[in-house]
Amino acid sequence: MKKIAVLISGSGTNLQAIIDKCLSGYIEAEIVCVLSNDPNAYGLERAKLNNIKTKIINSKDFETSDLFNEGLYDYLKTLDLDLIVLAGFMKILSGTITKTFYGKIINIHPSLLPKYPGLDTHKKVIKNKDSLHGVSVHYVSEELDAGPLIAQGAIKTYKDEDIDDLIERIHQIEHIIYPEVIKFICKKQIYLDSNKIVYKNININNKDFIYKNYEI
C-alpha cells in the first residue's frame, strides 16, 4: 500500500475526491497525512471526518517563506512518502523540497499548460475569449507550473459564460483526472525516468489519456 500526503490550503474538493477513491479501492494507497498551511482550511475537516491524520504548518507563524519551507521539508522527511499530492496548496515550494522529492510530487493546475501558469487562470481565459479551458496534472519541478506534464483535460468554453459556472466545470474535470493519475502512479504505471514520463501498460496511442476532451 502506497503512502500519500495531500497538501491543501482551502476547501479540499480535490482532496475529497482522492479520499473517496482511496476508500473505494480505486486508488491503492493510504493517505497518511493531510497537511495545510492554513489552520482554517476546510479540507482539514474533511480529513478528520475520515479519520485521516492532519498537520498544520501555519505559514503565518514563520517570518519568511524560506523558514516556512524548512519547517515543511523537515516534516515531510519524517513521513517516508511514496507520493506528495498538491491539491490547492497555495504556497511555492522551495528548491530543496522540489529537488529532494522530484518525481514524487504532483500538482493539478487549472489551465492547459504551458498556457497561464500562476494565478487567475479562469479570469484570463474569459478575458482572452479562449475557446478551450482545462486542467493539467504535472510533476513538480523548481520552475512554477513547468514540470513534466502527465495528463490534461479540456472543455469548450461558452460565450458570455459566468466565471463561477466555468470554475464548477473545471472542478468536475479535476475530480476525474487527478484520482486517475494518482491511481496509475501508485500502480507504477506512470513514473519519471530521466525527466521523461513513462506510461506502462496504458493505452495512449490515441492520446485519450494524455489529452482528453470532456463534454461537461
Residue ranges covered by each domain of the chain: 1-101, 109-134+150-216
- Is it true that domain 109-134+150-216 has CATH number 3.40.50.170? yes
Percent of the chain with pLDDT over 70: 97
- Residue entry with cell 522527511: 77
Query: Do the domains spanning 1-101 and 109-134+150-216 agree at the CATH topology level?
Result: yes
pTM: 0.96
What is the pLDDT confidence band of residue 33, given thresholds at 50, 70 and 90? very high
Quote the cell numbers at residue 190: 506512470
Q: What integer pLDDT is reported at residue 34 of this predicted model?
A: 98
Q: What integer pLDDT is reported at residue 207 of this predicted model?
A: 58
Q: Catalytic site residue 109?
A: yes
Sequence-distant (6+) residues with CB within 8 A of 72 are 35, 37, 57, 91, 93, 97
User: What CATH number matches the domain at 1-101, 3.30.1330.60, 3.40.50.300, 3.40.50.170, 3.40.50.10440?
Assistant: 3.40.50.170
Sequence-distant (6+) residues with CB within 8 A of 197 are 139, 148, 149, 150, 190, 191
- The predicted model gives 133-143 an average pLDDT of 97
- Write down the catalytic residue from 109, 133, 138, 175: 109
What is the pLDDT confidence band of residue 204, given thresholds at 50, 70 and 90? low
